Structure formats: C-alpha cells, structure tokens
C-alpha cells in the first residue's frame, strides 16, 4: 500500500495554484475581499447545485446588478434587501433567507465589537467551533447545515474542510488506496478524518478539500484545468 502522503501528492499534482487559492480563502480575500459576495456564495452553494456552472455565474450576476452599482454596499444593505428584487438572479427563498440572516448577524457583531465587516467575519470564524456547531449563532440559522457552516469558517480564516458528497467520495478513494479504515459517514467524522490525513500528508485540510472539487471531470477536462483562470477572480 502507498502512504497517504504519496497518494494525496499524486492528486495534488493535478491542481497547480491550489495553495495560493486556499491561502487567499484563509485571508478572507475571495471575491476581491467582498464579505457580501462570500456570504451570497455560501448561501447559493448550500442547495447543492454545480458550483462552477450554477453558483459562480449567479454570484457574478449579483455582483454586477447589485454590488458594482452600489445597490448592496455592505452586510447591512444585504440583510435588508427585499427578496422580490432578487428573483431574477436566484429564486431559492431559503438561500436568500440564509444570506440575509448571516449578514444581519455579522453586521450586528461588527457593530457590537467595533469591527469592520471583514474583521467581524474573521472574529466569528476564529471563535466558532465544529463541536456543537448547531448552537453557534450562524449554525442556528435556517438553511445553514454543517457543510455551509464549515464553508463559511474556511472563508473566515479557519483551516478546515467542508463535508459534502464529492469530498467524501474522494477521501474514501484515498483511504482505500492507502488501506486505511477511517470514518467518513457522518459529516463531523469526515472533517476529523481529513484533519488526520492533513497530519499524515503535510497538506492543509482546506487544500485537501478544494483538491477534491477541482479534480472532478467536466467534459474532457478536470475542473482545475477548465476553471484555472476563474479561480483568481473568485
């Protein structure tokens, strides 16, 4: 059997530039540092549609129609945005409710702590915990499951992983190749297993997580090759 570090390195070799992308994520610099767009991204991603073909184009449209023109300039204005004005972009009501509730909480947190919205987001993430996540103020929000909670923590600067079906499938492949028996069925177990693989391989949990998404095939190419230039913009 190969060592986990060898197996993960072979997967990582297909994802040039992933380290810098993950570093930007941990610095809360995705979407040009716009916390509004990071929240919208997470809310749209929460319903499980294809990230690059469904979510990213809609976040870009929201950016063009609402952010770039100043209609939504901060978390407060996002939290107060009437849903009827956004139906042309994204019709899922649960997503918008989650985005508005997350924005409202972070806005109030920033106001209470005297922090701008980026620092408020990072303050929340730094003080959040995976264990007991459902008791977290954001974990309690309707429409926020553990995967969305973890995705937000990643963008807020926490080196962790998002437990979705693609991540689970690739992690299982790695474990099978390494002859390792580690739990992946429960979401929390999957995150803990990725943390253990991180220790065994030297790659950060966030890098392992993004790698699983970017090695997926779309047509005749893997996503890393197909969307390499897009990564720098998001």
Same domain membership, residue 202 and residue 140: no
Same domain membership, residue 163 and residue 145: no
Q: End of a domain among 141, 156, 171?
A: 156
pTM, rounded to two decimals: 0.97
* Residue 222 to residue 182: CA distance in whole angstroms: 27
Question: What's the mean per-residue pLDDT of the chain?
Answer: 96
Query: Does residue 35 contact residue 99 with C-beta atoms inside 8 Å?
Result: no
Tens of pLDDT, residues 149-178: 999 999 999 999 999 999 999 999 999 999
Residue 54 confidence (pLDDT) = 96
Split at pLDDT 50, 70, 90, the class of 31 is: very high
Dihedrals φ, ψ of 218, to 5°? -135, 110
Dihedrals φ, ψ of 159, to 5°? -80, 95
Split at pLDDT 50, 70, 90, the class of 37 is: very high
Dihedrals φ, ψ of 89, to 5°? -105, -50
With CA atoms as reference, report the closest residue to 191 among 150, 154, 156. 150
Residue 197: C-alpha distances to residues 130, 159, 178 (Å):
17, 13, 11
Q: Copy the structure tokens of residue 70.
A: 């100043």
Contacts of 146 (CB under 8 A, 6+ apart): 133, 139, 163, 187, 188
Residue 34: C-alpha distances to residues 6, 189, 231 (Å):
36, 31, 15
User: In DSSP terms, which residues pair with 95 in a beta bridge?
Assistant: none
Same domain membership, residue 149 and residue 173: no
Residue 39 confidence (pLDDT) = 98
Residue 83 confidence (pLDDT) = 85
Q: Domain holding 42: CATH number?
A: 1.10.340.30
Contacts of 83 (CB under 8 A, 6+ apart): 93, 96, 97
Provide the 10 A C-beta neighbour count for residue 2.
Answer: 13
User: In DSSP terms, which residues pair with 221 in a beta bridge?
Assistant: 218
Q: What is the mean pLDDT of residues 191-215?
A: 98
Q: End of a domain among 138, 156, 174?
A: 156
Tens of pLDDT, residues 119-142: 999 999 999 999 999 999 999 999
Same domain membership, residue 21 and residue 58: no
Overall domain count for the chain: 2
With CA atoms as reference, report the closest residue to 145 among 28, 42, 25, 214. 42
Residue 90 confidence (pLDDT) = 93
**What is the sign, positive or negative, of the torsion defined by CA atoms of 125, 126, 130, 135?**
negative
Residue 3's domain comprises: 1-27+158-234
């Amino acid at each position: 059997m190969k060592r986990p570090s060898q197996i993960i390195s072979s997967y990582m070799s297909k994802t040039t530039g992933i380290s810098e992308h993950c570093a930007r994520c941990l610095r809360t610099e995705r979407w040009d540092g716009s916390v509004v767009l990071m929240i919208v991204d997470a809310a749209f991603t929460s319903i499980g549609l294809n990230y690059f073909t469904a979510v990213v184009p809609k976040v870009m449209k929201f950016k063009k129609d609402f952010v770039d023109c100043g209609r939504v300039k901060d978390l407060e204005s996002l939290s107060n945005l009437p849903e009827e004005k956004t139906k042309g972009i994204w019709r899922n009501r649960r997503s918008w409710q989650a985005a508005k509730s997350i924005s409202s909480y972070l806005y109030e947190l920033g106001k209470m702590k005297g922090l701008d919205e980026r620092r408020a987001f990072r303050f929340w993430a730094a003080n959040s915990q995976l264990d007991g996540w459902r008791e977290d103020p954001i974990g309690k929000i309707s429409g926020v499951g553990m995967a969305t909670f973890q995705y937000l923590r990643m963008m807020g600067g926490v080196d962790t992983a998002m437990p979705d079906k693609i991540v689970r499938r690739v992690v299982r492949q790695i474990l099978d190749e390494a002859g390792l028996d580690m739990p992946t069925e429960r979401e929390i177990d999957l995150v803990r297993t990725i943390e253990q693989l991180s220790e065994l391989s030297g790659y950060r949990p966030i890098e392992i997580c993004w790698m699983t998404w970017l090695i997926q095939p779309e047509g005749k190419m893997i996503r890393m090759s197909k969307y390499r230039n897009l990564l720098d913009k998001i």
